[in-house]
């Protein structure tokens, strides 16, 4: 089950981010103010880890703290490095840090890319491991229930367009255009009906979550993931059902997300991660947000 989940994430998250990295200019996306505030409120000299830092949107905030970013996607890490940030390449299920060495940890828009509950839990536990007792973690994940609409299902593929119409190839996109593209991508994901997977093969059941795909018939070509032809998996069958149209002038990349219901993230932490104590929980611009503190665990 874990190997299938891992392969899914490689096909529908990691490989997508690698391909869109040159155009995924985080400078075009506004940093969430409450995340900025969280960083700015850390004591001088604090050590902060940004897990899934992308190209470093939060790494430039505050010169009073030492920030270390990491991401699975090498191109985006290189981009962050080019801005002068300290970064590493790693997987968030196996962070290359010694235990309890950070004062604060960020996990912004990362956990929702894990394809099983168990992997979400492992990812959060791993961030808790590197956090010192008394340190804080901030987690942002996409919410299922949005202010104006809601996703029909929790497991979705969200399209991302690497070639916004008003940008020429290789040039950075104006902030407004990228923001509208982001908004448009979410609109596409929210508006489209989900296709239920047929069949309940043993392989499908082995992956704990059924994946439903948001399919926009007019969107154009869906970029096919690598290694998609694996017979017997309804997941892969669903992926292979997407067909390119010859009329498409743009490619669209789909990224897998598990969008979180109200209370789901809190329940995951309360039930499975006793070393974290939730101190704040709120909704912020379509995200479920949480701040939790690392507590000392006593062995009896």
Q: Which residues bind other proteins (CB under 8 A)?
A: 3, 6, 43-47, 63-64, 66, 68, 70, 72, 74, 77-78, 81, 86-91, 93-98, 101-102
CB of 118 vs other proteins, minimal distance in Å: 15
Task: Report the distance separating Cα 61 and Cα 46, nearest Å.
Answer: 13
Residue among 73 and 213 whose Cβ is closer to other proteins: 73
Residue among 89 and 280 whose Cβ is closer to other proteins: 89
CB of 56 vs other proteins, minimal distance in Å: 12
Instruction: Tell me the CB-side half-sphere exposure of residue 193, using CA atoms within 13 A.
Output: 4
Residue among 106 and 158 whose Cβ is closer to other proteins: 106
Task: Report the distance separating Cα 62 and Cα 13, nearest Å.
Answer: 30
Residue among 3 and 148 whose Cβ is closer to other proteins: 3
CB of 48 vs other proteins, minimal distance in Å: 11
CB of 47 vs other proteins, minimal distance in Å: 6
What Cα–Cα distance (Å) separates residue 140 from each residue in 161, 223, 260, 291? Answer: 23, 27, 10, 9
Residue among 81 and 272 whose Cβ is closer to other proteins: 81
CB of 83 vs other proteins, minimal distance in Å: 12
Would you call 189 helix, strand, or coil by DSSP? helix
In degrees rounded to 5, what are phi and psi of residue 190? -80, -35
Residues 6+ positions from 78 with CB-CB distance below 8 Å: none
């Amino acid at each position: 089950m874990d190997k299938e989940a891992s392969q899914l994430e490689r096909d529908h998250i990691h490989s997508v981010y690698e391909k869109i990295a040159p155009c995924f200019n985080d400078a075009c996306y506004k940093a969430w103010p409450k995340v900025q505030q969280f960083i700015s409120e850390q004591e001088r000299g604090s050590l902060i880890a940004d897990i899934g830092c992308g190209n470093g949107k939060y790494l430039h905030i505050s010169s009073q703290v030492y920030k270390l970013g990491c991401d699975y996607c090498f191109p985006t890490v290189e981009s962050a490095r080019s801005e002068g940030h300290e970064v590493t390449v790693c997987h968030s299920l196996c962070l290359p840090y010694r235990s309890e060495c950070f004062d604060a940890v960020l996990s912004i828009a990362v956990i929702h890319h894990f394809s099983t509950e168990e992997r979400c839990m492992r990812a959060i536990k791993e961030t808790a491991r590197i956090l010192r007792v008394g340190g804080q973690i901030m987690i942002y994940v996409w919410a299922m229930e949005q202010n104006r609409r809601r996703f029909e299902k929790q497991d979705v593929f969200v399209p991302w367009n690497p070639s916004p119409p008003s940008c020429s190839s290789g040039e950075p996109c104006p902030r407004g255009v990228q923001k509208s593209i982001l908004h448009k991508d979410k609109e596409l994901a929210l508006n489209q009906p989900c296709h239920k997977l047929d069949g309940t093969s043993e392989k499908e059941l082995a992956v704990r979550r059924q994946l439903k795909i948001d399919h926009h018939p007019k969107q154009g070509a869906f970029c096919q993931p690598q290694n998609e032809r694996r017979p017997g998996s309804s997941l892969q069958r669903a992926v292979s059902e997407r067909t390119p149209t010859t009329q498409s002038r743009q490619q669209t990349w789909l990224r897998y997300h598990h969008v979180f219901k109200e209370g789901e993230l809190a329940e995951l932490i309360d039930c499975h991660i006793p070393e974290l104590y939730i101190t704040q929980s709120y909704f912020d611009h379509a995200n479920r947000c949480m701040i939790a503190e690392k507590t000392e665990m006593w062995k009896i």
